[in-house]
């Protein structure tokens, strides 16, 4: 059974900014061999479920805005001997239907049935350009 993670994108103001930050990180990723990682202090206990098709859902400015597939979860040690978790992510950022999310620290498990759906780009609306508060208002009015 697959499970996902949800994590705050600290210091990020938009989906475009997250894309740019990850692109910058990839261009400077000599040691990681071109792999994209996000780091966290605690190692998830449910690694097998995360790597069976799980994703990390990004919270940007109090809204879940995108997800990335989790490729692997690795235990690493820094120069000071402290253990941390490196989550190897797919490079593709997949926009999701924005959903309000309260702040939290670290990461949380996210059940598959609780996740927001991906944005269907076959329609004419580009949800990435609409402010999250407006999207929430439109959803509450059952207009989207």
Q: Can you give the residue ranges of every domain in the chain?
A: 3-140
Q: Residue 132: its pLDDT value, please?
A: 77
User: Rounded to two decimals, what is the model's pTM?
Assistant: 0.82
Taking only the tens place, the pLDDT of each residue in 73-124 is 999 998 999 999 999 999 999 999 889 999 899 899 999 999 998 987 655 5
Q: Residue 66: its pLDDT value, please?
A: 95
The full DSSP string for 15-27 is HHHHHHHHHHHHH
pLDDT of 32 strictly over 70 = no
N- to C-terminal Cα separation, the chain: 30
Mean pLDDT of 41-64: 94
Q: Residue 9: its pLDDT value, please?
A: 94
Q: Which of 67, 63, 57, 66 is nearest to 136 (CA)?
A: 63
Beta bridge partners of 108: 6
Q: Residue 63: its pLDDT value, please?
A: 92
Q: Look at phi and psi of residue 18 and say left if phi exceeds 0, alpha if psi is from -120 to 50, else beta.
A: alpha
């Amino acid at each position: 059974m697959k499970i996902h993670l949800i994590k705050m994108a600290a210091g990020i103001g938009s989906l475009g900014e997250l894309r740019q930050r990850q692109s910058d990180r990839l261009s400077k990723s000599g040691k990681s061999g071109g792999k994209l990682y996000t780091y966290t202090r605690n190692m998830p206990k449910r690694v097998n479920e995360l790597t069976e098709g799980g994703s990390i859902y990004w919270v940007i400015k109090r809204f879940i805005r995108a997800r990335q597939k989790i490729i692997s979860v690795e235990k690493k040690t820094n120069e000071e001997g402290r253990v941390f978790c490196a989550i190897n992510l797919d490079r593709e950022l997949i926009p999701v239907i924005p959903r309000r999310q309260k702040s939290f620290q670290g990461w949380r498990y996210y059940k598959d049935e609780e996740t927001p759906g991906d944005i269907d780009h076959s329609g004419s609306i580009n949800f990435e350009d609409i402010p999250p508060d407006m999207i929430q208002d439109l959803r509450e009015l059952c207009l989207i």
